[in-house]
Amino acid sequence: MKKFSPRLNKIPESAISEMNNFARLCKAINLASGYPDFDPPQAIIEAAVSALRRGHNQYADTAGSGSLRRAIARKFSRFSGLEVNADDHVTVTVGGTEAMFLVLAVLCEPGDRVLIFSPFYENYAVGLHLLDAQPVYVHLRPPDFQIDRAALRSEFEKGAKAIIVCNPANPSGKVFSEEELRFIGSLAQEFDAYVITDEVYEHIIFPPNRHVYAAALPGMFERTITCGSLSKTYAITGWRLGTVIANEEITEKIRLVHDYITLGAPAPLQTAAITALELPDSYYEEIARQYTEMRDIFLDYLEKSGFKIIPPQGTYFVLADISPFGFDDDRQFCYWMAREVRVAAVPGSSFFAEPVNHLVRFNFAKRPETLHEAGRNLLDIPKLV
Ligand SMILES: Cc1ncc(COP(=O)(O)O)c(C=O)c1O
């Protein structure tokens, strides 16, 4: 048989999938993977049932159903203050995952350098490797994840097609300030690079932090491509609905590739998603309150169990420092914790380009009862190590 593509050699097994599988095997509470264990609002579920019954069962417009794109444009304008329009700027994708891959596929030539802050969400580098483009990592050092501005400038000077900014960032929980985004934007302008943002956690932010849309900063819309998702905001990770918001020319290219790659996101769920996008401001205030409560419950258990924590500014992830427990290796710790304590997390090293192996990532988007059960298990760690 002929050989597989050598590109695969650059693609590691996903640490998240690995830990999911191990969690299942040892019946651990799964705080490794990135989904909530609660339902979306009932109105959204009813809207999906109704869409199926009303015959929305065939392909939608491949760019996304017109009424959903209009709802996305309205909501983006409402929160970002930037007027975008459904026909020229909005494409509906199969999750934020397809959105990011399409953007990279449209922009990158083989060998192109794309800057990524490390720690990073694991999909970015994989997408670049599949396109023979080159991820270039710019380190954000824990625990405060400040940008090393000289290092960032130096990477732009060496040449960069684009920079990916995950904001709020998985796994660090960092929320980029307006001032940081302006700095990144000024470098992108100076060196004529694109800014690709991944804003799937735009509404999961802990005060006093607030979300700033990079595309809405002065002069930035033309070179900023905003990847979004409905997965996290509405607790519908299984619906697979994402968005790309970009200027007219980029949108045209995105739609061209999207049409061939997936043809379109699920039509009945697109119809139902309009109900989600039209939820009032109080919905977003309420989820911010609920996530703050989940964070507080879980971080309290982590601290009492002896972890040193890096409090997240946004997202539903927390990086916790395992140094007090005497393990040499985060992976070994995660396997041990899933087996002995029955709580699964992801080894932090899988998110860092540099050798960092004293952190693990927990997902706290869980019902209070799940968090209390996991938390009680974690309290056993000091007795077991
Ligand atoms: C930073 C980030 N971007 C994108 C995604 C994928 O989102 P979607 O479900 O919309 O494909 C995730 C999922 O965990 C994520 O954490």
Atom number, ligand 1, closest to the C-alpha of residue 34? 14
Cβ–ligand 1 contact at 187 (below 6 Å): no
Determine the distance separating the centroid of ligand 1 and the alpha carbon of 122, expressed in angstroms.
10
- Reply yes or no on domain 6-40+282-384 having CATH 3.90.1150.10: yes
Q: Is the CB of 228 under 6 A from ligand 1?
A: no
Enter the pTM of the model: 0.97
Q: How far is CA 280 from the centre of its chain?
A: 23
pLDDT digit string, tens, across residues 285-296: 999 999 999 999
The pLDDT > 70 percentage for the chain reads: 100
pLDDT-derived band at 12 (thresholds 50, 70, 90) equals confident
- pLDDT tens for 204-241 read 999 999 999 999 999 999 999 999 999 999 999 999 99
**What's the maximum distance between 2 C-alpha atoms anywhere in the chain?**
60
The alpha-helical segments, DSSP class H, found in the chain are 15-25, 42-53, 66-80, 86-89, 95-107, 123-130, 149-157, 178-190, 248-261, 267-277, 281-305, 330-336, 368-378, 381-384
CATH 3.40.50.2000 fits 42-279, yes or no: no
Mutate-to-test residue for ligand 1 from 98, 200, 233, highest number of ligand atoms within 8 A of CB: 200
140-157 pLDDT tens trace: 988 999 999 999 999 999
Q: What are the pLDDT digits (tens) for 269-328?
A: 999 999 999 999 999 999 999 999 999 999 999 999 999 999 999 999 999 999 999 998
Calculate the CA 6 to chain-centre distance.
Answer: 27
What pLDDT score does 113 carry? 98
Report domain extents, the chain: 6-40+282-384, 42-279
Nearest CA to ligand 1 atom 7: 96
Q: What average pLDDT does the chain have? A: 97
Model pLDDT, residue 5 = 94
Q: How many residues does the chain have?
A: 385
CB environment 272-290: b (16+ within 10 A), e (fewer): bbbbbbebeeebbeebbee
pLDDT digits (tens, 9 = 90+) for 184-200: 999 999 999 999 999 99
30: buried, middle or exposed (CB in 10 Å: 19+, 13-18, 0-12)?
buried
pLDDT confidence of residue 262: 97
